[in-house]
Chain A
Amino acid sequence: MNNINKKKSILAVDDDSDILLQTKVYLEAAGYEVSTAESLKDAEALLQSYKPDLAVLDLMMETQDSGFVLSYKIKKIDPAIPVIIVTAVTSQTGIAFDLTGSGESSWIKADAIIEKPIRCEQLLSEVKRLLP
């Protein structure tokens, strides 16, 4: 199988199993291969034997910043893996993350942050941007 035809693989992590299933459906419909995990711990176990081409992570799982923690760990495995963080934090607190400034992106190890509830088009456009 040559590289062009090989499906790109995405890791999706969310502690809401319904949102996780939906994310999987969106990404599979767009032609990606999707692995899922419902917790930080499961995701870490999965990453022992598997390297995704991109990761979509829910921010708040076991703790308020599980997504960032996991993102940091993925970047340690391979800094080239793009990470998308999904969060409802902005609409709940009014805090907006700005990844363009150097200040925040230095500790937020993510390549994109998108708002919950996830909209299929937005997710896919970010994925396509980061996985050309």
Chain B
Amino acid sequence: MNELKILVVDDEPGMRMGVERSLRNYRFKLPGFDEEVFFNIRMASTGKEAVEMMELEKPDILLLDHKLPDLQGLDILLDISQKKLDILTIMITAYASLEVAISATKHGAFDFLAKPFTPDELRNAVQKAAKQIFLQRQAQKLAAERRQVRFQFISVLAHELKSPIAAVEGYLRIVDKHMLGDDIGKYDTMIQRSLRRLRGMQKMILDILDLTRIEAGTKNRELTDVNITEVALECIDGVTPDAKDRGVSINLESPENITMHADRGELEIIFNNFMTNAVKYNRDNGRVDVKVQPDEHGVTLVFSDTGIGMTEEEQNRLFGEFVRIKNEKTKDILGSGLGLSIVKKLLAFYDGTVDVKSVPDQGTTFTVRLNKKDEASR
């Protein structure tokens, strides 16, 4: 919307006409906004008339003479603030009286124009007001979008937490009613499956905490020169038990002692996510190749697996929140669907990127780029 409604309130007909003439054909563009702004001008000669007109149709900007025959300009300002109307008021004062100015500001006036003023002064004042209105609208729109995203996140989250609770509750009811008889051994599968669902839920809650901490900017970052090779080796140690269970071998190709100015915890999360995925979504007796490739601007990390791979459609969905690639091959793999969302948020700290290449039943390669940031720009 690029038409702004202005209500001019002044008891002098000459004044109203002058304002109308100055603004009637006035069009301008605001920096950062594409559309031209112009004004729809209405006029009132008394305070009472102004109040009635505002009730009928709310103006965006009010050009308000301080001295009116029936009411004071301040009375109208008070009325606006009481009714919580979203109107920017520019007070017109006969002389630049400091007293009136202070009092009007207190009651919510946005700006002043001292009589007599030139058409240019008037245009400058309304342009300033228009800018304020558009910035406000933009901020409101952003806030609304943010609320929407958060609402969506919370409803998906609620659903994701409800599923494991329903599963565990169902098993407990079966045990409670001894539906499989009195032999406790008969319930082993159900108990194991319940524990598994609870573990999955725990993992999800921890991931959500990580994600919200990063998003809220409350995560403490400790930047030191981190030995990336060391982080990679530690991470390999961490996933080795799971890899061994399935005969998956892990190979690291890295120059020794590569360092990068970074938060160690963040690099650990990044490595861990790709490494555990490479093991989880691998085939039995498969392999995982990790490459650390430094250059003068940063470092490239490559994680390749010989696993189940993904279709193009699955790759496109991969980085969404709570997205888990569900198919026959992945149905028994546990995950929160938040790992890659977290990684993506962390990569932003390093002007980083992540690319995925995958072929179903052959494997997936993630290429992660971390860039050094200028000390000066930090």
Contacts and interface: CB of A to CB of B under 8 A. Distances in A.
Interface residues of B, number: 22
B167 interface: yes
B171 A22 contact: yes
Interface of B: 155, 159, 162-163, 166-167, 169-171, 173-174, 177, 179-180, 189-190, 193, 197, 326, 328, 331-332
Contacts of B193: 18, 21
Interface stretch (A77-85, A94-102, A114-122): A114-122
Bin chain A's interface residue count: 10 to 19
Contact of A18 (B155, B171, B173, B177): B171
A15 interface: yes
Contact of A25 (B167, B169, B174, B331): B174
A17 interface: yes
Nearest to A17: B331
Nearest to B194: A18
Contacts of B155: 92
A88 B161 CA distance: 13
A39 interface: yes
B328 A39 contact: yes
A19 interface: yes
5 contacts: A15-B331, A18-B167, A92-B159, A117-B166, A120-B177
A62 B159 CA distance: 16
A29 interface: yes
Contacts of A53: none
Contact of B167 (A15, A16, A120): A16
Contact of A120 (B173, B197, B328, B332): B173
B162 A88 contact: yes
Given A18-B197, A88-B159, 14 more contacts: A16-B167, A19-B167, A21-B193, A22-B174, A26-B179, A38-B331, A39-B328, A62-B326, A88-B162, A92-B159, A116-B166, A117-B170, A120-B173, A120-B177
A80 B25 CA distance: 74
Interface string A52-64: 0000000000100
A14 B326 CA distance: 13
Contact of B179 (A17, A19, A25, A62): A25
Nearest to A116: B166
Contacts of B173: 120
B118 to A, nearest CB: 60
Interface of A: 15-19, 21-22, 25-26, 29, 38-39, 62, 88, 92, 116-118, 120
Contacts of B177: 120
Contacts of B190: 21
B180 A25 contact: yes
Contacts of B331: 15, 17, 38
A26 B170 CA distance: 10
B328 A19 contact: no
Contact of A19 (B166, B180, B189, B332): B166
Contacts of A62: 326
Contacts of A15: 326, 331
A41 to B, nearest CB: 8
Contacts of A88: 159, 162
A53 B170 CA distance: 25
Contacts of A17: 331-332
A49 to B, nearest CB: 19
A19 B326 contact: no
B162 A118 contact: no
Contacts of A118: 170
Nearest to B180: A25
